[in-house]
Amino acid sequence: DAKTTQPPSMDCAEGRAANLPCNHSTISGNEYVYWYRQIHSQGPQYIIHGLKNNETNEMASLIITEDRKSSTLILPHATLRDTAVYYCIVRTSNSGYALNFGKGTSLLVTP
């Protein structure tokens, strides 16, 4: 699986958009970009995933660059409950293989 690079930490004011970047310059054509988050002392929670088109759901938006070498997860109106570690993972859609979590980005949403 392609390796990802994320900033170790970010801050965001409550109510503002949180934009979390991820670099995956070695991504291959059949690999998807997945985003998960882990709130303290809980299991990781699926947020969104995409292949090459931008995606949006009730939680977030995923913007993937045209060359697919980087992506941005957008939380449009961050709340205090969005404080968590966010993981960007790149892998194929074959669910027979496990996700390899890196260190992620620790997002702190402040009042």
Partner 1 sequence: SQTIHQWPATLVQPVGSPLSLECTVEGTSNPNLYWYRQAAGRGLQLLFYSVGIGQISSEVPQNLSASRPQDRQFILSSKKLLLSDSGFYLCAWSHDYGYTFGSGTRLTVV
When asked if residue 106 is in the footprint of partner 1 (CB under 8 A), the reply is no
When asked if residue 29 is in the footprint of partner 1 (CB under 8 A), the reply is no
Binding letters toward partner 1, positions 56-95, x by CB under 8 A: ---------------------------------------x
105, 18 contact by CB (below 8 A)? no
Closer to partner 1 by Cβ: residue 29 or 96: 96
When asked if residue 101 is in the footprint of partner 1 (CB under 8 A), the reply is yes
> Distance between CA atoms of 105 and 37, rounded to whole angstroms?
9
Least distance (Å) between residue 61 CB and partner 1: 17
When asked if residue 46 is in the footprint of partner 1 (CB under 8 A), the reply is yes
When asked if residue 8 is in the footprint of partner 1 (CB under 8 A), the reply is no
Of the residues 31, 36, 68, 105, which one makes contact with partner 1 according to CB under 8 A: 36
Token code pair at residue 28: 């291959």
In DSSP notation, 44-108 reads -EEEEEESSS-EE-SS-EEEE-TTSSEEEEEETT--GGG-EEEEEEEEES-TTS-------EEEE
Phi, psi (5° rounding) for residue 80?
Answer: -60, -30
Under the rule (CB under 8 A), what is the footprint of partner 1? 34, 36, 38, 41-46, 49, 95-104
